[in-house]
Amino acid sequence: MVILNTSSFGGFFLLGFSEQPLLEMTLFAIVVIFYLLTLLGNMAIIILAHLDPRLHSPMYLFLTHPSLMDLCYTTSTVPQLLVNMQGPKKTSTYGGCVGQLYVSLAMGSMECILLAVMAVDHYVAVCRPLHYATLMHLCICGQLVAMTWLAGLGSSLVQTMMVTQVPLCGRNVIDHLFCEVPVLLKLACVDVTFNCMELLLVSVFFLLEPFALILTSYSCIAQAMWKIRTTEGHHKALGICSSHLMMVFLFYGTAMATYLQSPSTTFRDRDKFMALLYGIVTPTLNPFIYTIHNKDMKIALKKMLGKE
């Protein structure tokens, strides 16, 4: 059992897996590997999409921004997590916690919206191919991406300010890996019903509504694919959609499990592992999911490595 002197520290103690040091040592090595893969994979997508003219299209414009968001998100959380995993003293300054909270909320919110925009892009590509160049012009796509960033940054600012206004009465021990809204609200020494309702409404807007739009888009795509009679057409449609669907279920499944649970729920090790999934594993897998069946991306990578 780790004993903390919480009275003389103005920041937060993040317990993590303090009571399981062997597990923590194993997780430290795993997190380091995944973080390095996240950096390499997402930076490679951004660089390839920028340098190769064949990748200057709406699809790859949308693809580079989740990569940038994943880089920002993991960099705001993982370095501090690794430092805390190296010893029994697991701390975060108040400013560091608030900054990490703002960045992670902004990147998560933006990725929710952008995944829905990508689903609409796929719907137009499969169901309205003759109108694709007009409906998904690069200028329009750029405006959609800009609106996504503004919505995410603005929403995160509001949520972060609301959380920082909640009095904690000296409570500063967080039984979690990161600074997140649900765990910080559990430290409050006042009634936070309004904050919980606000968090629920924001979660519905950024999680459930985009997810519903994605499901609607893919139901239309499935109907269109049913009418495609050629094998080549089926393969092309599946190639466009399969990678995105895998990313959607990985991201939304883990995020919903955290942000749509009851405020009275006690956080357990299961929730910490869930945080590792959506905070570290998913950003690592995204580049590989998107490139493994992407012919253009493979060609661009070979060209950059001088193998073509």
Q: What is the mean pLDDT of residues 45-73?
A: 85
**Residue 34's pLDDT band (cuts 50, 70, 90):** very high
What is the tens place of the pLDDT at every residue in 195-229?
Answer: 888 888 888 888 888 899 998 988 888 887 777 66
Distance CA 45, CA 286 (A): 10
* CA distance to 93, 162, 176, 185, per residue, from 167 (Å): 17, 11, 19, 9
Can you list the domains of the chain with their CATH numbers? 12-298 (1.20.1070.10)
Distance CA 4, CA 138 (A): 54
State residue 1's pLDDT score.
Answer: 42
State residue 5's pLDDT score.
Answer: 45
pLDDT at 3 over 60: no
- The pTM assigned to this predicted structure is 0.84
CB atoms within 10 A of CB 235: 12
State residue 228's pLDDT score.
Answer: 65
Q: What is the mean pLDDT of residues 144-158?
A: 93
What is the tens place of the pLDDT at every residue in 128-144?
Answer: 888 888 888 888 888 99
* Lowest-pLDDT range of 33-37, 59-63, 169-173, 304-308: 304-308
pLDDT at 148 over 90: yes
The stretches of the chain forming alpha helices (DSSP H) are 21-51, 58-85, 94-127, 132-135, 138-164, 181-185, 193-203, 209-227, 231-259, 269-276, 282-291, 295-304
Distance CA 207, CA 211 (A): 6
What is the tens place of the pLDDT at every residue in 64-98?
Answer: 888 899 999 999 999 988 888 887 778 888 888 99
Phi–psi pair at 55, nearest 5 degrees = -100, 10
Conformational region of residue 16, where left means phi above 0, alpha means psi within -120 to 50, and beta covers everything else:
left
State residue 32's pLDDT score.
Answer: 93
State residue 191's pLDDT score.
Answer: 86
Distance CA 67, CA 264 (A): 34
Residue type (1 letter), 297: M
What is the tens place of the pLDDT at every residue in 217-261?
Answer: 888 888 877 776 666 555 656 666 777 777 788 788 777 777 776
State residue 157's pLDDT score.
Answer: 93
Distance CA 75, CA 120 (A): 29
Distance CA 28, CA 284 (A): 15
* Lowest-pLDDT range of 82-91, 103-112, 162-171: 82-91
State residue 192's pLDDT score.
Answer: 86
Enter the tokens of residue 18. Answer: 């303090």
Distance CA 109, CA 153 (A): 8
Mean pLDDT, the chain, whole residue set: 82
State residue 231's pLDDT score.
Answer: 62
State residue 200's pLDDT score.
Answer: 84
Enter the tokens of residue 29. Answer: 């090595």
pLDDT at 267 over 70: no
How big is the chain, counted in residues?
308
pLDDT at 169 over 90: no
Distance CA 238, CA 121 (A): 14
DSSP string, 59-78: HHHHHHHHHHHHHHHHHHHH
pLDDT at 7 over 50: no
**Could you report how far apart the first and last alpha carbons of the chain are, in Å?**
57
Phi–psi pair at 204, nearest 5 degrees = -60, -45
pLDDT at 154 over 60: yes
Residues 279 and 74 sit within 8 Å (Cβ to Cβ): yes
Any idea what DSSP says for residue 180? -
